[in-house]
Structure 1
Amino acid sequence: MSGTYFDELYFDELAVRLREAGVPAERIVATVDDLRAYLADSGGDPEEEFGPAAAFAEHLVATTDHADGGTATGERWTWTAGIFTDQQRLNEFGEQGWEVQGIDRLGRFVCTRDPEHPQRWEYRREVVTPTGRDALTQRLAPEGWEPCGTWFCYAYYKRPHAALVGPEAKIGDPPPRPGRRLFFSPALYGFAAVAFTAAVALGLSSLAVLDRAGLDDDDGPSTLLGMAVGALSALVVIGAIAAIAELIHRRRRRR
């Protein structure tokens, strides 16, 4: 049996679980279409990407309830972007009336838009530890910012543009929902390439150092030690690159 056959079995079970949970038929179709599009881009296996269908259905129901505020009205759209362009895209789509309601387990922004009275939204991204998140939220609250999602060390905040410009924040004729769901910049692909190259180079150099130190290549522990040192060094380099990317992002935001 092909992978496509098992994919269909997975999505059939997912649809059944969502239907049993009371999710509207049109929402089930849209959700399954989104997931299929994601798999087409990632080339992954649905159970490896999303987990068991039953558990994933429960998560999707919770996310859907949160995203819609308990109703089935309004437009819904999920999308994702890289760390180099996410805030730019958020504000671009916020100008079109898209409000972020949360971030799902795939790292996608779950957005809704009021079809009758759309308004503009403004977004910001902050780097914060889990223990410092509450303090940051309290500090930003007087300026009208409220949390709308977290992803690893990133915390995202939103506020209605009406807090700044009043009635002018309303949108008379919003553009249609974008046809794309992935917004990755060349900088992100460059970052991934550099990180991968650094990991490979540091792993090989660690093994070479151990070899020059007189350790036998056939010695299992020495090989594992070299791999561990290389992996740790690669993580340090990747962290440094991510920090540099965040500094560039902050500098651009201040301009």
Structure 2
Amino acid sequence: MNDYVNETAGDYFDELAVVLAEAGMPTDRVRAMLDDLAGYLAESGSGDPEEEFGPVAELARELAVTSPPPAADARTWRWTADLFHDVSMLNEYGAQGWEVDGVDAKGLFVSARDPEHPQQWEYRRELVSPGRRQSVLDLLAPDGWEPCGRWVCFEYFKRPKAASLGPAAELTAPPRPPGRSIFLSPKYHAFIAGLLATTALAAGALVLMLQVVGVEFDPIDESLDTILGALTGMAVAALAVMAALWLVARRHDRNR
């Protein structure tokens, strides 16, 4: 607080700080607000803050109602979700005012929320091949969809809900920013478990096959590199097969 505040004003502002903190106002906002009030008091030439601003309780109540929300609500939020439920998560947080502006090099959604007039957004995802992108853009553009990020072969699209909801799309009291940035679904965990099980079965089958043909499994033998290479290849192949089956299933669900 400004060092030119007298003892009487200091007691007033100390009490005001306590009341505002108890009301849930962040410490940095309380400090900035008290500095502004103290500066105004010094410029006015009045030595009595209660005479200038009124009782502490009334001033605190007025400040709590009229002060703007914390600037932290407008910060950029980077997050990610697996492909099994990324669109549902995008729509969930789009309904809370988060607008995705892109996908960064790490595959994270880069999103922000307007601190003054947060709007609801909706999202969709398309599997886009290199030669098909323009046709997808032309197909979705008339309905208000615009691209907002791409990851590998998937492209994400957004549009404001104001087109369908009108003024109701603006949020009056959006929730606080989420406390985490990674969202993994039960299907994702099941997918990883299936991949590990498939790899383990492939490894067991390979070892059994080597034993049948009379190859000794010697950890210090040079053949270990060949075996590890084969296991790695099986794991990659298993992942590719499961990913292909999942994509086919997703496309089938979308076309039903």
Q: For this structure pair, what is the TM-score category when the shorter chain's length is used for normalisation?
A: 0.5 to 0.7
| Number of aligned residue pairs | 184
TM-score normalised to the size of structure 1?
A: 0.60
Query: Judging changes above 3 Å, is the alpha-carbon distance between structure 1 residues 211 and 132 closer, same or farther for their aligned structure 2 residues?
Result: farther
- Residue of structure 2 in register with 1:78 after alignment: 78
- Residue of structure 1 in register with 2:234 after alignment: 233
The AA in structure 2 aligned to 1:80 is: T
Trace 1:112-123 onto structure 2 (pairs within 5 A). Answer: 112-123=112-123
Single out whichever of 98-107 and 194-203 deviates more from structure 2: 194-203
Q: Tell me how far 1:94 sits from its aligned partner.
A: 0.6
- Residue of structure 2 in register with 1:176 after alignment: 176
For the 8 Å contact 2:73–2:177, the answer to whether it is kept is: no
- Residue of structure 1 in register with 2:109 after alignment: 109
Q: Tell me how far 1:116 sits from its aligned partner.
A: 1.5
For the 8 Å contact 1:203–1:226, the answer to whether it is kept is: no
CA RMSD of aligned residues (A): 3.0
- Counterpart of 1:194 in 2: which secondary structure? helix
Q: Tell me how far 1:98 sits from its aligned partner.
A: 0.5
- Counterpart of 2:112 in 1: which secondary structure? strand
CA distance in 1 between partners of 2:164 and 2:222 (Å) = 62
For the 8 Å contact 1:97–1:113, the answer to whether it is kept is: yes
Percent identity, aligned pairs only, is: 42
- Residue of structure 2 in register with 1:195 after alignment: 195
Q: Tell me how far 1:121 sits from its aligned partner.
A: 0.8
Gaps of 5+ in 2: 1-71
Query: Judging changes above 3 Å, is the alpha-carbon distance between structure 1 residues 89 and 253 closer, same or farther for their aligned structure 2 residues?
Result: farther
CA distance in 1 between partners of 2:171 and 2:249 (Å) = 32
CA distance in 2 between partners of 1:101 and 1:223 (Å) = 48
- Counterpart of 2:97 in 1: which secondary structure? coil
- Residue of structure 1 in register with 2:39 after alignment: none
CA distance in 2 between partners of 1:228 and 1:129 (Å) = 31
TM-score normalised to the size of structure 2?
A: 0.60
Single out whichever of 193-202 and 127-136 deviates more from structure 2: 127-136
Question: For 1:38-97, what per-residue CA distance to the aligned partner results, in whole angstroms no more than 9, with x for missing partners?
Answer: xxxxxxxxxxxxxxxxxxxxxxxxxxxxxxxxxx99432122212222111100011111
